[in-house]
Amino acid sequence: MRRILVAAALLLVAVPAAGGDEAYDSSAALMGGALFKTYCASCHGKTGEGDGPLSASLRVAPPDLRRIARREGGKFPFDKVYRIVDGREPVKGHGGADMPVWGDAFLQSRDGYSADRVRERITQLTHYLASLQEATAK
């Protein structure tokens, strides 16, 4: 029963808000941090600075993910970042050999993730990226 309640709670944060303003969720960010270390840090670096061990070998240098909000006028664009990660908003270096479209990669995982689980994981990653903004704003 506890697992069902935890899963239900996680699904509540799995879909970004329609209006573009997603309430920051620290527990989702914590889980997203683990995903970031597994899937993103090799290119984007441990802290999101863009200095991962593979960054020098990429055609397009990974951006400093800690400065997304700064580049967007001071507000973290949750929906935009979510769409970039899931592949719906193409940007240079994403979706090709340099960076997989994570919506597709998570859906085709050996673990057999469902579309709901994919949205949950991308939401967690996006919350983690939002948490990096707070660290650099201080």
Residue 110 identity: R
Q: What are 28's two structure tokens?
A: 């989702």
| Residue 114 pLDDT | 75
pLDDT by residue (tens digit) across 102-128?
565 565 555 556 778 888 889 999 999
Counting Cα atoms < 13 Å in the Cβ hemisphere of 26 gives: 1
- C-beta atoms surrounding 13 within 10 Å: 19
Q: Note the pTM of the prediction, 2 decimals.
A: 0.72
| Residue 24 pLDDT | 82
Domain range annotation of the chain: 23-137
Contact 44, 52 (CB under 8 A): yes
Kindly report the average pLDDT of the chain as a whole number: 76
Contact 15, 78 (CB under 8 A): no
| pLDDT digits (tens), the chain, 138 positions | 433 333 333 333 333 433 345 678 999 999 999 999 998 999 999 999 999 999 998 888 899 999 999 999 999 999 999 988 887 777 766 655 455 555 655 655 555 567 788 888 899 999 999 999 965 554
The DSSP line for 34-59 is HHHHHHTHHHH-TTSSS--TTGGGSS
